Structure 1
Amino acid sequence: MADTAARLYLITPVLEDASFAPQLAEACATGAVAAVLLRLAPADERTLINQVKALGPAAQDNGAALIITTDGKADLATVAARAGADGVHIQGDPGLVREWRERLKSERAIGVGGIRTKDDAMTLGEAGVDYLLFGEPRRDGSLPSLESVAERVAWWAEIFETPCVAYAPALEAVETLAATHAEFVALGDAVWSHPDGAAAGVKAAADILARQEASR
């Protein structure tokens, strides 16, 4: 079980070009972001590599790890290696996890989402992932209940050593998910659509996590 405060993990909208870089840099410049999941629209490998190279510094130069994902058929392992990303993220597929673990060795992180059951989570953990993401929006945009996500994350954090990420659909959910002892709390629209800007969204979430840690 994690004994330290959860850290922030940001999930971008699906991006088709590098125009999101200033907003990403604004969020990461706070120094409170541990990792960014860059969601890339389907494209050929060359386009994706160029896109990651253009967007990456906004996160990496501010101390955040850069993880990439896409729904397209491009070879993300190759894209990550050539573009300098810190890791890749895939939807629950133990076979693909094992293949990429073999190819990427320990040089880059492998994260996984789209986890439906506890059995799936355990299988993926055994396949060699570096973290599991629970509670993110489904493909149709719907969300599992906060209660079910908190229960699943608390179960995982209590028993297993592989880190987990808990997705918070709103800032109001951060405290509940941090209390599960997840290593990371993920935010998406709650940061990017914050009325005072992305940096304000990050700072608000970081303040909640700091208060949570102080109360332990």
Structure 2
Amino acid sequence: MATKPALPRPTPRLYLMPPVVDDPKPLIASLPGLLNAVDVAAVLLRLKMADQRGMISAVKALAPPVQDAGAALLLDGHVELVARSGADGAHLTGLASLEEALPSLKPDRIAGVGGLATRHDSMRAGEVGADYVLFGEPDANGQRPSMEAIAERLQWWAELFEPPCAGFAASPEEAYAFAAAGADFVLVGDFVWTDPRGAPAALADAEQAIRQACAATPEKAGQE
């Protein structure tokens, strides 16, 4: 796995994780406005378990508004549905899941991975071809490392390795910390959708936090 050259880092981009999708219609209605208001690199789609036909139909309905806005649509798992639904790739949990999925995703589609408990697993994910690694997401019991531990892992990765890294932020404060640490992407989820002011305001706060972090650490901001 190639180590990263000492170049200026671009401003981290948002990675948006909506609530689990059953009926896609509400999300189809709200996504275009959200994606046009802030810089979103990708949307991570979590599908409620249903028959494959129903899940494929949901993805096919959501793909155009995401892709038309210039973002990638990734499925949380469900690798077998990616090609049939028009998604751009999949996010896998754990090194074994990534290795199993790579033959069906590469070279045409995105393969991201989280659930990497150790530095060794993270490095191995980069070596086998992950398009990004995610740090800080909750485990199966809903537990997460501390903000400081996540930021430390992001900084370690960003300084040494070529594949992009993403930080799972549970608040604008965490978005700031992870952008400052060197994340390429900041994944935002539940706190955006539960904000009483609405998702657009919460997303704007997250983007502002990222930009403030880059302004405070210009060596990590690079080019706008």
The residue aligned with 2:191 is 190
Any idea what the Cα deviations from partners look like across 1:100-128, whole Å, max 9, x if unmatched? 32222221100111111111111211121
Please, which of 86, 89, 95 is the counterpart of residue 88 of structure 2? Answer: 86
> Structure 1 residue 148: deviation in Å?
0.8
TM-score (norm 1): 0.89
The verdict on how the C-alpha distance between 1:62 and 1:31 changes in structure 2, with shifts beyond 3 A counting, is farther
> Structure 1 residue 171: deviation in Å?
1.1
Q: Which segments of 5 or more consecutive residues in structure 1 lack a partner in the other structure?
A: 71-75
Do structure 1's residue 16 and structure 2's residue 22 form an aligned pair?
yes
Please, which of 34, 53, 58 is the counterpart of residue 51 of structure 1? Answer: 58
> Structure 1 residue 9: deviation in Å?
0.5
Secondary structure at the residue paired with 1:40? coil
TM-score (norm 2): 0.86
> Equivalents in 2 of 1:91, 1:99: separation in Å?
11
CA RMSD of aligned residues (A): 1.7
Please, which of 54, 67, 84 is the counterpart of residue 60 of structure 1? Answer: 67
Any idea what the Cα deviations from partners look like across 1:39-79, whole Å, max 9, x if unmatched? 11223322221110112223222221111014xxxxx3331
> Equivalents in 2 of 1:162, 1:98: separation in Å?
16
Please, which of 10, 13, 32 is the counterpart of residue 7 of structure 1? Answer: 13
- Paired amino acid for 1:79: L
Secondary structure at the residue paired with 1:66? strand
> Equivalents in 2 of 1:103, 1:141: separation in Å?
29
Structure having the higher strand fraction is: 1
> Equivalents in 1 of 2:215, 2:180: separation in Å?
12
Runs of 4+ in structure 1 deviating by more than 6 angstroms, as ranges, are none
> Equivalents in 2 of 1:139, 1:54: separation in Å?
29
Secondary structure at the residue paired with 1:15? coil
Any idea what the Cα deviations from partners look like across 1:149-202, whole Å, max 9, x if unmatched? 111111111111111110111112111111111100111012112222111111
> Equivalents in 1 of 2:199, 2:61: separation in Å?
19
Secondary structure at the residue paired with 1:143? coil
Secondary structure at the residue paired with 1:20? helix
Contact 1:28 1:199 in 2 (8 A): no
- Paired amino acid for 1:146: M
Secondary structure at the residue paired with 2:19? strand
Residue range with higher mean Cα deviation, 190-199 or 79-88: 190-199
Q: Which segments of 5 or more consecutive residues in structure 2 lack a partner in the other structure?
A: 219-224
Contact 2:95 2:116 in 1 (8 A): no
> Equivalents in 2 of 1:131, 1:69: separation in Å?
14
> Structure 1 residue 17: deviation in Å?
2.3
Contact 1:166 1:184 in 2 (8 A): yes
Paired residue total: 210
> Equivalents in 1 of 2:177, 2:211: separation in Å?
13
> Equivalents in 2 of 1:53, 1:67: separation in Å?
12
